[in-house]
């Protein structure tokens, strides 16, 4: 210090003066007297006190006491404000029980299994009883040796860690308790600030006050990050050793426990030597804590590290087309800021067993039929029609190569599957399923519908026309019903896409997606009650609070009688028509569909408990060489697995048709121009083996059911008995001609008609044809 240096200088000067009296002395005024130095030091010591209160010694005692009280009180208020600010920034008590990190999203199936996770999520949450005791002891020895003896803050641990780190000249031991680490994991970030540390301390105390030690330990072991994308001990056991926690050995447990302070530094995948050194340190501490014997610890330390790495389970995704659909639906139910904050748990409607069956059916169909029928993609969706829950959804054959969802995003022409809505609307207007229409060539306002087979079958009932998927009859039925009733009913039943009022609408020219088409057919399965399809049951935040719950709201859109008749008609499609490949050992109703040039192959079918739809085709809209029977077979393959444990239910009985009244009003279309095309009849126009045609052949007189055709005068027909002379009439006792004779007579009649000039027609036919662009041929028995 300067004072001692000055004293040494003075002493040396006096000694030199005595030893050498003749030496010239320095001037007296330049020497620094000791008394003056002491006074100066005293003044320096008193300087802070004088600065605080220059006149404190001059104030009375009671004023000095008041000043101290003001200072202490102000300090207390400041500290109280800081404490209040910290307390206000902490989460509410209810949030302390959370077991999910921020920034995560977990999508679960209907049975609780995890379909997909994103963010720092733990794939496998374990109960504390499921975690081996040595693994728990290893974490306590590594991270918080006084865990059971503190209330969240371990002051002795902080002091011990400080001394250890100073001795090692490195950070070898942390002062944060397991409770503090849990608080940081769940509610805080990793910034190194005094404010964050103060919040962490207070939050740890709050957690200790509301949770038991076992609850704290269970949450910590499930959430702690252990490197290589593993969150929690179960994920770490899988990532590093491809094992479950109950299969880990003691050295492996110690290695996992040693990862917590610095996972990237101690990871055996990155630095095997550092990982081994850290593992051995954990084993030594376990021995010091007397949870291991010396022999056991020594043997574990001598064991080499053998890792068997695996990818994190949280990166695995089940039903990717479905989970991507769910993520797109989330903004409809929760705010964007809630989604951004994360920690959400979405409980969905998916049935994992049915989903596997659906994926298998799609893959098998493309693999076995796609190449020779020239289609590359397939899609399938299954819905519970009673509550609208989507139970299975496959949007394509390979999500990894193409994420386009063909169930919800692809807009395709439904083809003949749309006829189900046309005929249902007709039944709802009061028409009978036995009402007859003629399957014959005709042109309405320039549009000429053609049948798939390019053949015509004559007079057919609506039921038979739907069974055989006759296009001309479907257009005539829609003309009788009207555009608006058909479009309105289809929308009410579940179709969301725009439906354009045009004649080709009856044949499925307006594009729809598979989800809405399948949902609309489900309305028939529930006798006219429609429920919107959905894939989400509940959405919860990370505290377990329910943010959204789906409540199905069935709505009556069709009277039960019309729905029952339509189902009865669609059952015949599967039993005797184009949908026969979809037959099951239970009642099934459905409809096939094929768009122009077989670009889209459809089948939508249902039983009372489940409705499913299948689409086959190409993304580039290239024509296929297949037919809708392949789609029906795919539907059957899925349904065989889905109905294994499902009881058999029958559809409602068809109501009595006599005296039925419609529930909706028809709005018939009045075309400006209809052309009835005449075609020469060949043998194939009257197939003798066609049961649908033969059932209607004996009919002599036909009621005009197509409204526009009624404007064409029908030729009057006279009985054959009146046309022949009485002498030549066959008596009632005459024998019936044999089939061979009948066939010869038909052949002669056809030859005569073909050789007959076109102009030789009855006067009535010639006159009637003048009102139309073509000629109308009256069907006869022969």
Tell me how far apart the alpha carbons of residues 53 and 218 are, in angstroms, rounded to a whole number.
57
Q: Hey, which residues are catalytic here?
A: 143, 416
Question: β-pairing, 114-118 with 105-108?
Answer: antiparallel
Residue 117 CA to residue 106 CA, distance in Å, equals 5
Tokens read off for 55: 């006149």
Token pair 């969905």 is at which residue? 348
**Please, which contacts does 168-174 make with residues 24 or more away whose CB atoms are closer than 8 Å?**
174/143, 174/261
Task: Give 291-295's long-range contacts (Cβ < 8 A, gap of 24+).
Answer: 291/134, 291/137, 291/141, 292/250
Residue 63, φ and ψ in degrees, nearest 5: -75, -35
SS3 call for 536? strand
3-state helix, strand, coil in the chain (%, to 5): 50, 10, 40
Contact 602, 615 (CB under 8 A): yes
In angstroms, the CA 764 to CA 774 distance is 15
Nearest to 575 by CA among 632, 496, 614, 639: 632
Backbone φ and ψ of 309, nearest 5°: -70, 150
Of the candidates 118, 305, 90, the one whose C-alpha atom is nearest the C-alpha of residue 209 is: 90
The three-state (H, E, C) secondary structure of 358-386, written as one string: HHHHHHHHHHHHHHHHCCCEEEEEEECCC
Query: Rounded to whole angstroms, what are the CA distances from 758 to 584, 678, 680?
Result: 52, 11, 10
The candidate with the shortest Cα–Cα distance to 280, out of 310, 250, 308, 309, is 250
223 close to 102: Cβ distance less than 8 angstroms: no
Neighbouring residues of 542: CB distance < 8 A, sequence distance ≥ 6: 98, 99, 100, 101, 102, 104, 342, 343, 344, 345
Those residues with Cβ within 8 angstroms of residue 200's Cβ, 6 or more apart along the chain or in another chain: 176, 180, 183, 184, 188
Residues 6+ apart with CB under 8 A from 640: 584
Of 527, 524, 644, nearest in space to 573 by CA: 524
Using an 8 Å Cβ cutoff, are 601 and 617 in contact?
yes
Neighbours of 371 (CB within 10 A): 10
DSSP letter, residue 173: S
Give the separation between CA 323 and CA 113, rounded to whole angstroms: 13
Contact 582, 633 (CB under 8 A): yes
Beta carbons of 523 and 529 less than 8 angstroms apart: yes
> What is the radius of gyration, based on Cα positions, of the chain?
45
Angle formed at CA 58 by CA 57 and CA 64, multiple of 5 degrees = 65
Residue 345, beta-bridge partner list? 106, 540
Give the span between the Cα atoms of 525 and 645, in whole angstroms: 19
User: Which residues, at least 6 apart from 74, have a Cβ–Cβ distance to it below 8 Å?
Assistant: none
């Amino acid at each position: 210090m300067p004072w001692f240096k000055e004293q040494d200088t003075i002493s040396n000067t006096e000694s030199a003066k005595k030893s050498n009296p003749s030496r010239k002395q320095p001037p007296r005024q330049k020497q620094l007297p000791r008394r003056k130095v002491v006074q100066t030091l005293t003044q320096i010591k008193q300087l802070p006190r004088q600065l605080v209160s220059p006149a404190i010694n001059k104030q009375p005692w009671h004023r000095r006491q008041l000043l101290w009280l003001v200072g202490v009180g102000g300090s207390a208020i400041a500290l109280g404000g800081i404490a209040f600010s910290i307390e206000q920034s902490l989460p509410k008590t209810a949030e302390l029980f959370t077991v999910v990190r921020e920034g995560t999203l977990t999508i679960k199936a209907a049975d609780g299994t995890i379909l997909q996770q994103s963010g720092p999520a733990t794939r496998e949450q374990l109960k504390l009883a499921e975690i081996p005791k040595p693994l728990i002891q290893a974490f306590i020895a590594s991270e918080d040796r006084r865990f059971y003896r503190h209330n969240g803050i371990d002051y002795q641990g902080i002091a011990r860690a400080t001394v250890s780190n100073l001795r090692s000249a490195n950070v070898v031991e942390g002062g944060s308790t397991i409770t503090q680490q849990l608080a940081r994991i769940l509610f805080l970030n990793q910034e190194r600030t005094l404010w964050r540390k103060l919040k962490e301390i207070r939050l740890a105390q709050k957690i200790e006050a509301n949770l038991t030690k076992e609850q704290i330990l269970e949450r910590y072991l499930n959430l702690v990050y252990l490197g290589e994308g593993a969150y929690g001990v179960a994920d770490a056991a899988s990532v590093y050793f491809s094992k479950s926690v109950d299969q880990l050995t003691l050295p492996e447990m110690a290695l996992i426990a040693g990862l917590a302070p610095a996972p990237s530094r101690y990871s055996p995948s990155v630095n095997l030597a550092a990982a081994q050194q850290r593992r051995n340190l954990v084993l030594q501490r376990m021995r010091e804590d007397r949870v291991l014997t010396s022999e056991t610890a020594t043997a574990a330390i001598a064991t080499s590290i053998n890792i068997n790495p695996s990818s994190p389970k949280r990166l695995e995704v089940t039903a990717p087309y479905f989970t991507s659909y769910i993520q797109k639906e989330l903004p409809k139910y929760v705010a964007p800021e809630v989604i951004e904050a994360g920690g959400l748990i979405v409980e969905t409607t998916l049935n994992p067993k049915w989903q596997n069956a659906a994926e298998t059916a799609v893959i098998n169909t493309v693999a076995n039929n796609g190449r020779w029928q020239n289609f590359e993609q397939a899609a399938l969706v299954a819905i519970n029609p009673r509550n609208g829950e989507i139970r299975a959804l496959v949007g394509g054959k390979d999500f990894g190569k193409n994420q386009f969802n063909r169930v919800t995003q692809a807009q395709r022409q439904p083809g003949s599957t749309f006829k189900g809505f046309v005929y249902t609307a007709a039944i709802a207007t009061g028409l009978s399923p036995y009402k007859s229409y003629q399957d014959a060539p005709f042109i309405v306002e320039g549009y000429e519908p053609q049948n798939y087979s390019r053949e015509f079958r004559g007079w057919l009932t609506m039921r038979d026309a739907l069974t055989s998927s006759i296009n001309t009859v479907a257009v005539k039925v829609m003309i009788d019903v009207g555009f608006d009733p058909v479009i309105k009913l289809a929308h009410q039943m579940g179709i969301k896409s725009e439906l354009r009022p045009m004649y080709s609408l009856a044949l499925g020219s307006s594009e729809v997606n598979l989800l809405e088409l399948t949902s609309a057919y489900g309305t028939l399965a529930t006798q006219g009650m429609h429920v919107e399809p959905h894939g989400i049951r509940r959405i919860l935040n990370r505290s377990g609070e329910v943010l959204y719950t789906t409540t199905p709201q069935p709505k009556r859109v069709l009277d039960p009688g019309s729905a029952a008749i339509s189902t009865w008609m669609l059952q015949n499609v599967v039993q005797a028509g184009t949908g026969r490949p979809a037959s099951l050992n239970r009642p099934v109703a459905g409809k096939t569909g094929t768009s122009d040039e077989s670009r889209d192959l459809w089948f939508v079918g249902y039983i009372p408990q489940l409705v499913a739809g299948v689409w086959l085709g190409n993304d580039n809209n290239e024509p296929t060489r297949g037919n809708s029977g392949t789609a029906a077979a795919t539907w059957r393959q899925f349904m065989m697995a889905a109905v294994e444990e499902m009881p058999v239910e029958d559809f409602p009985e068809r109501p009595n048709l006599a005296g039925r009244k419609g529930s909706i009003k028809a709005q018939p279309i009045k075309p400006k121009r209809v052309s009835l095309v005449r075609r020469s009849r060949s043998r194939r126009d009257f197939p003798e083996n066609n049961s649908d045609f033969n059932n209607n052949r004996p009919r002599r007189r036909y009621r005009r059911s197509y409204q526009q055709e009624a404007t064409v005068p029908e030729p009057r027909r006279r009985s054959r008995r009146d046309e022949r002379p009485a002498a030549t009439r066959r008596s009632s006792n005459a024998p019936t001609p044999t089939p061979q004779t009948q066939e010869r007579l038909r052949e002669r009649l056809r030859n005569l008609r073909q050789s007959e000039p076109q102009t030789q027609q009855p006067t009535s036919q010639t006159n009637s044809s003048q009102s139309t662009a073509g000629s109308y041929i009256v069907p006869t028995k022969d």
